[in-house]
Amino acid sequence: MQLYNKLSAKERAELIEKAGKDRLTLSFYQYAKIDCPQEFRDQLFIVWEKLDVLGRIYVATEGINAQLSLPADRFNDFKAHLDTIDFLKDIRLNIAVEQDNMSFLKLKVKVRNKIVADGLNDDTFDVTNKGVHLSAKEFNDMLANPNTVCVDMRNHYESEIGHFDGAVTPDVDTFRESLDIIEADLKEHKEEKNLLMYCTGGIRCEKASAYYKHKGFKNVFQLEGGIIEYTRQINEEGLENKFIGKNFVFDERRAEKISDDVIARCHQCGSPADIHTNCANDACHLLFIQCDSCKEDMNYCCSENCKEIHALPFEEQKALRKGQANSNDIFKKGRADHLPYKKDLRNIFETLKVDKLKD
């Protein structure tokens, strides 16, 4: 029995186009004890492939983290399947703010050590002893509280294009980095400050809230469902939107517009821009922000060198890549030295120390 995807992204895109059906992009997560992740993974793949589900799903002994798309007319079937799984019954599904039929082009269900890479020894604390979940209205109210420190639990390239008004946005490359930094900078304020956290869909805050409670923080809160659910609630309830810019997402869309503000700039020319590009040179694929003008001038590449390589015939590019690993710049996510307008590095808690801790 086939338990893996065989079609290329191009072939899948052609099938989606030919089918002519609207697809839904959604995400969900759940921390739960899974005794046999591989068996659970295989069962999901068998059912979801029949439902034409596409996406990136991680399964581990600690639970599941899923980002996916499926035909809109199969949603009820998909939900019915989830309800047959005890720990997924009636689970909240985060429906994407902006839909795109091509958001995912393959079905990848992978077994991992953890559903979120955090570098933590989870045996030292209870991941289910989490912080208080807040609705959009409750989040807005707490955000306005002068005794609150709001922290963006995402990475620098995510918060660069959008974040909550007044939030601290750690200049970090990984979730694990931010955990220690936040604890160190707030260690004198564990008793009296409200630690308010948010992320894309809630999964990182779920782990972080349990971690900080374990570390002695008394008032730990998180945005229920993350930015995605917040946006749905403010639209449905007519609440004030406190999020500025776009929400970075990990699929082909790369971002969802939450407000009309453009708070970032093109990493090549410095003009206002908030759309990420992966360098078209297959030996690079650096993620960076590129405006439409630079896309045209640079042919979707991050440097003149990459532009020259990308212009070569495919076989010549392939020969150049033979035996070569991708450049380490791929891990810099917009920090590469050759990008003249990359985000400035700064003391990541500079704003917090000046504006919050002196109150």
Active site residues: 199
30 with 88: CB under 8 angstroms? yes
Q: Are the C-beta atoms of 94 and 226 separated by less than 8 Å?
A: yes
Q: Dmax of the chain from CA atoms?
A: 62
Read off the tokens for 358: 């002196």
CB 60 within 8 A of CB 31: no
Tell me the backbone φ, ψ of residue 256, rounded to 5 degrees. Answer: -120, 135
The C-alpha atoms of residue 89 and residue 66 are separated, in whole angstroms, by 15
Phi and psi angles of residue 305, each rounded to the nearest 5 degrees, phi first: -60, -45
Tell the residue number behind the tokens 């955090």, with chain if given.
118
Nearest to 140 by CA among 220, 247, 243: 243
Residue type, 100: D
CA pair distance 225, 200, nearest whole angstrom? 8
Give how far the C-alpha of residue 89 lies from the chain's centroid of Cα atoms, to the nearest Å: 24
Distance CA 246, CA 272 (A): 13
User: Looking at the DSSP assignment, which residues form a beta bridge with residue 26?
Assistant: 68, 95
Question: Rounded to an integer, what distance in angstroms lies between the CA atom of residue 161 and that of residue 173?
Answer: 15
Residue 220 to residue 211: CA distance in whole angstroms: 10
The DSSP code sequence of 259-322 is: SS----B-TTT--B---EEE-SSTTT--EEE--HHHHHHHTT-SSHHHHHHHTS-HHHHHHHHT
